């Protein structure tokens, strides 16, 4: 874990030994993989300093030097702040992890008309702390799916985490309650997913769709009710992926009537139970477990720490 601190609009990190000899240019390009346009902004607007002085981007860094980045400037916001109760799983100056309840959209489809989404609540949370900035969601969950969602508090954190998501360095583990007892207790579902041309929101397994891979492991079985609690993790992030894949193998999620699930619970039984990622600036491994929020409980007798 790196030694870091915040000084107003500036973020400071003490250059560690394993950065010795690297340049600021290489940190932006190779370590953080910051997009060229954002990198250009930091260079031209002199938003990087070494020991309080404007930095030379090509000079090798010395261990123990104070690298300072202007990360926390006020910016124009494009999301309407809207107060709501939030369950915060992790927060610091750079990132925010929230436990999304079911029956709320992750982000507004129409920013001017729709204000009661998780993004609007996160924006209000920042504003209440005196942070006048847009919040940036790194991934999303379906409206009726609950669990952990990762947000970035500034542009550079957003860029680094967006890249980490693409490179599968952010691990999301889901818990699903599915119909039936699976014969294979651990396995992988590989089936391309495309749009269903007969339904505006439904997806389906299609040879012409996008490649999709879901890994799963049965956590617990209710043999009396013929139900299975299944842990899932993804190599891809297609819309409705877990829902489509388990319906495809004959075990639809309970409550997921769009894909053939029995309406015995009030929503599709899917919860983003755990989120794991490496912090973009401290190099700390962050692991967040998201408590279940349903009343009555859908996922009974499940220990989150085993997920």
Q: Is 142 considered catalytic here?
A: yes
Q: How far is CA 122 from CA 54, 60, 118, 195, 279, in A?
A: 33, 39, 6, 31, 19
CB-based burial of residue 184 (10 Å sphere; 0-12 exposed, 13-18 middle, 19+ buried)?
A: exposed
| Cis peptide upstream of residue 131 (ω within 30 degrees of 0) | no
* Annotated catalytic residue, options 30, 92, 110, 142: 142
Buried b (16+ CB within 10 A) or exposed e, 16-43: eeebeeebbebbbeeebbbbeeebeebe
**Is residue 242 classed as helix, strand or coil in its secondary structure?**
helix
CB 134 within 8 A of CB 123: yes
Round to whole Å and give the CA distance between 298 and 302.
10
List active site positions. 142
């Amino acid at each position: 874990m790196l030694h870091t601190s915040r000084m107003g609009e500036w973020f400071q990190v003490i250059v560690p030994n394993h950065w010795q000899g690297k340049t600021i240019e290489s940190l932006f390009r190779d370590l953080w993989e910051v997009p060229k346009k954002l990198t250009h902004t930091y260079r031209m607007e002199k938003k990087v300093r070494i020991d309080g002085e404007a930095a030379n981007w090509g000079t090798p860094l010395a261990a123990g030097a104070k690298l300072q980045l202007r990360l926390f400037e006020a910016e124009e916001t494009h999301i309407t702040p809207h107060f709501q109760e939030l369950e915060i799983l992790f927060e610091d100056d750079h990132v925010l992890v929230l436990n999304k309840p079911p029956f709320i959209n992750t982000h507004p489809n129409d920013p001017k008309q729709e204000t009661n989404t998780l993004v609007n609540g996160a924006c209000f949370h920042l504003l209440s702390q005196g942070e006048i900035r847009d919040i940036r969601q790194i991934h999303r969950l379906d409206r009726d799916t609950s669990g952990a969602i990762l947000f970035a508090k500034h542009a550079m954190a957003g860029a680094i985490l967006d890249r980490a998501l693409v490179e599968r360095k952010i691990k999301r583990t889901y818990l699903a309650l599915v119909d039936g007892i699976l014969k294979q207790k651990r396995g992988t579902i590989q089936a391309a997913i495309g749009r269903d041309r007969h339904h505006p929101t439904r997806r389906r397994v299609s040879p012409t769709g996008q490649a999709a891979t879901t890994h799963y492991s049965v956590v617990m079985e209710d043999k009396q009710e013929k139900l299975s609690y299944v842990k899932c993790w993804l190599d891809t992030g297609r819309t409705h992926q877990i829902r489509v894949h388990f319906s495809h193998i004959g075990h639809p999620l309970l409550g997921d009537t769009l894909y053939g699930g029995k309406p015995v619970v009030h929503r599709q039984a899917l919860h983003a139970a755990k989120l794991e990622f490496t912090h973009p600036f401290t190099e700390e491994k962050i692991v967040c477990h998201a408590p279940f929020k349903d009343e009555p409980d859908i996922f009974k007798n499940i220990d989150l720490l085993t997920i």
